[in-house]
Amino acid sequence: MTTEHTVRLVDVPVRILEASRRHHDELMHEFSMLAVQESLSDDVPKRMLELIDTLGRQYATTSDQSDAQVEAAIERGDTTVDLTYEVPAHVVDAADKLGQLMDEADEFCKREQMLTLQRPQIAKEFAEWYLEEFRRQIAGEPPRPWQGPLEP
């Protein structure tokens, strides 16, 4: 049986999270179109789509719960929201792979003159904090609230 860990993300900036999700969706859409091209010499789009698909299947229930909380916070006009996840320790490996692939995707976007631009700096900082909180808390450390700006 897999041990679940509680990860609390405190003071998540809803507008930055929403902007990051929109960027992610745009990137995945464009990567989906690129992944079917046989002439593509870089496999970043395919690897990214495979990882996102795997993560989506493994953590769909957890993601759905947080999505609902974020949507409710946006509707209320809240600037931040606290999110709680119950995850197995191996989510750290997935988070590390996702972080590395997002960095590669940024370089790919810059290099390939895509419609989707690389992530803005605030989105990168937010993603680093987000993924680091999973690493830290699974290792037994307490939550650290987001300390950055609240707007993208």
Please tell me whether residue 90 adopts helix, strand or coil conformation.
coil
Q: What is the pLDDT of residue 32?
A: 75
Average confidence (pLDDT) over 50-60: 59
On the question of pLDDT at 20 being above 80, the answer is yes
Q: Is 10 left (phi over 0), alpha (psi -120 to 50) or beta?
A: beta
Residue range 57-84, pLDDT digits in tens:
554 455 566 788 888 999 999 999 999 9
DSSP codes joined into one string, 96-128: HHHHHHHHHHHHHHHHHT-SSPPPPHHHHHHHH
Q: Which two tokens stand for residue 145?
A: 């609230």
CATH code of 4-138, in short, is 1.20.120
Average confidence (pLDDT) over 32-53: 66
pTM, two decimal places? 0.81
Q: What is the pLDDT of residue 147?
A: 97
On the question of pLDDT at 142 being above 60, the answer is yes
The domain segmentation of the chain, as residue ranges, is: 4-138
Backbone CA torsion sign across 126, 85, 99, 60: negative
Mean pLDDT of the chain: 83
Q: What is the pLDDT of residue 27?
A: 78
**CA dihedral in degrees (136, 57, 114, 40; nearest 10)?**
110
